[in-house]
Amino acid sequence: MTSMLLIAFRHPVVRLSMIAIFLFGFTGAATSPYQSVIGITELGLSDGFYSILIFAAAAVNVAASLWVGVLADRIGNYRILLMTVMMFGVVGYGLVYAVPVAVSFVICTLVILPVYNAMNSLLFANVCAVANASGGRDAAAINSGVRAAISVAWVLVPGLVALVLAGSGSMLPAYLLACLGCTANLALVYFKLPAGGAPPPISHRHSYLASFTEVLSPKVFARLMAVSLITSTLHVNAAVQPLIITGAVGGKVTDIGAVVGIVAFLEIVFIFVWARIQLHLHPVTALAAATVFYVVYLALLGFSSAPWQIYALTPLSAFAAAALISIPITYIQDLIADRPGLGSSLISVNLFLSGGLSAVLFALGTRFSDYSGTSLLGALAGMLGLALLIYLDGRHPARPSAC
């Protein structure tokens, strides 16, 4: 693990990208746990309106990510685009904190912050270019280091923000912290990230219509659906695990935090384990193996009846989840390997699709069964995604790229 981090840190652009992704993760981890509390409890939005707002914001993020990805391929300069979307973050988080009313919250959540969240795809596209040039072991170390950086943020930041705001009567200062994080990131990119080279020649494929058509082509979209079915299992677990802990297994609320913390810590370690495994396995093979592990975990979660069983499942959960939050990025970017910007924007499409699928699975599972049954339904969806993945790429997988 240490050696792989040292390899990643040898690359100045990667080192900068790791810090930038950590700060990006910081802004999300500082605000996401408290977003619903601020919107509904503090600013008076209804539950129904908030649900529609979050869905619409996710759709806007997909459109913004695709648009920014196409633009990145057209102009070939990630520095300018990163600074632009970071400004959206500074304004969005700052406006919610400075003008804490429902209108500003809705505008920022629906329009401004979804554009800022397109930075995730841009950063991975920037790193992809470096990884493609490195290849082999260096590429695995680069990708693992960058993915671990955002995981570290989500492990450390929510607890620290909760500690800082423990004596506050409002969670709005979390948005101030996020605004400061965006400002620091903007300064980092402005002063440290080198300017891009000459823009690439623009072909018909770089047009917006042709790019969107390429995303929706059967070759790309069918594989996106396969991966989305697989990664929807992560969302299903996030929804049902706390309910199973406090319900079917008879645990306490404190057990939820303990289990989540253990899994999050182990995920960071296992990300580097999977990076080594991928040196010897094709990404499709590695993704298939991880899916099997996670399906087994969800099935066992559904049959759990005591708190100790949930704790016993944490190593399996973390091992499989570490793969499902890292390997699909490689696979998705390779779907349009010669277009780093557009290929990386598919990450946001996958998040949208997997989130939507998990919502459907949760609705069906809780309608016809209980939370344990919903976990089993999630496992079935993962198997369906695995079957589709094997059908599409199992026999003749494409040659993997460094990303």
Structure-model confidence comparison of residues 225 and 192, the more confident one: 225
Check whether residue 292 and residue 180 sit in a common domain: no
Judge whether residue 94 has pLDDT over 90. yes
Check whether residue 116 and residue 256 sit in a common domain: no
Q: What's the pLDDT score for residue 193?
A: 79
Percent above pLDDT 90 for the chain: 37
Check whether residue 80 and residue 222 sit in a common domain: no
The answer to whether residue 174 is domain-embedded is yes
Q: Which residue from 223, 244, 367 is spatially nearest to 310, judged by alpha carbons?
A: 244
pLDDT (average), residues 78-101: 94
Check whether residue 332 and residue 235 sit in a common domain: yes
Question: What count of other Cβ atoms lies within 10 Å of the Cβ of residue 383?
Answer: 18
Q: Which residues contact 128 (CB under 8 A, 6 or more apart)?
A: 333, 340, 343, 344, 402, 403
Q: Which of 109-113, 269-273, 377-381 has the lowest mean pLDDT?
A: 269-273
pLDDT band at 126 (very low <50, low <70, confident <90, very high): confident
The answer to whether residue 399 is domain-embedded is no
Q: What's the pLDDT score for residue 326?
A: 83
Percent above pLDDT 70 for the chain: 88
Judge whether residue 10 has pLDDT over 70. no
pLDDT band at 9 (very low <50, low <70, confident <90, very high): low
Average model confidence (pLDDT) across the chain: 85
Judge whether residue 204 has pLDDT over 60. no
pLDDT (average), residues 170-195: 90
Check whether residue 178 and residue 236 sit in a common domain: no
CATH code where residue 157 lies: 1.20.1250.20
Check whether residue 264 and residue 319 sit in a common domain: yes
pLDDT band at 1 (very low <50, low <70, confident <90, very high): low
Check whether residue 371 and residue 243 sit in a common domain: yes
Q: Which residue from 314, 146, 325 is spatially nearest to 233, judged by alpha carbons?
A: 325
Alpha helices in 247-370 (DSSP H): 253-277, 283-302, 307-312, 314-324, 327-334, 340-368
Q: What's the pLDDT score for residue 132?
A: 63
Count of domains in the chain? 2
| Amino acid letter for position 173 | P
For 38, 105, 170, the CA distances from 102, given in Å and listed in that order, are 10, 5, 15
Distance between CA 35 and CA 232 in Å, rounded?
Answer: 22
Q: Which residue from 375, 374, 157, 143 is spatially nearest to 261, judged by alpha carbons?
A: 157
13-19-20-21 Cα dihedral, nearest 10 degrees: 110
Look at residues 192, 225, 256 and tell me which one is the last residue of a structural domain: 192
pLDDT (average), residues 41-70: 88
Judge whether residue 135 has pLDDT over 60. no
Q: What's the pLDDT score for residue 16?
A: 86
Length of the chain: 403
SS (H, E, C) 230-243: HHHHHHHHHHHHHH
300-332 pLDDT, tens digit each:
999 999 999 999 999 999 999 999 988 888 888
DSSP annotation of 305: -
Q: What's the pLDDT score for residue 344?
A: 84
Distance between CA 401 and CA 302 in Å, rounded?
Answer: 37
Check whether residue 174 and residue 212 sit in a common domain: no
Q: Which two tokens stand for residue 157?
A: 């930041």
Structure-model confidence comparison of residues 204 and 264, the more confident one: 264
pLDDT band at 392 (very low <50, low <70, confident <90, very high): very high
Check whether residue 132 and residue 236 sit in a common domain: no
Check whether residue 187 and residue 221 sit in a common domain: no
The answer to whether residue 319 is domain-embedded is yes
pLDDT band at 96 (very low <50, low <70, confident <90, very high): very high
Q: What is the extent of the structural domain holding 311?
A: 206-393
Q: Which two tokens stand for residue 190?
A: 């402005």
Q: Which of 19-33, 123-137, 142-156, 350-364 has the lowest mean pLDDT?
A: 123-137
The residue whose two tokens read 């198997």 is 383
Check whether residue 221 and residue 185 sit in a common domain: no
pLDDT band at 202 (very low <50, low <70, confident <90, very high): low
Q: What's the pLDDT score for residue 232?
A: 94
pLDDT band at 293 (very low <50, low <70, confident <90, very high): very high
Judge whether residue 169 has pLDDT over 80. no
Q: Which residue from 140, 123, 73, 122 is spatially nearest to 338, judged by alpha carbons?
A: 73
pLDDT (average), residues 245-257: 84
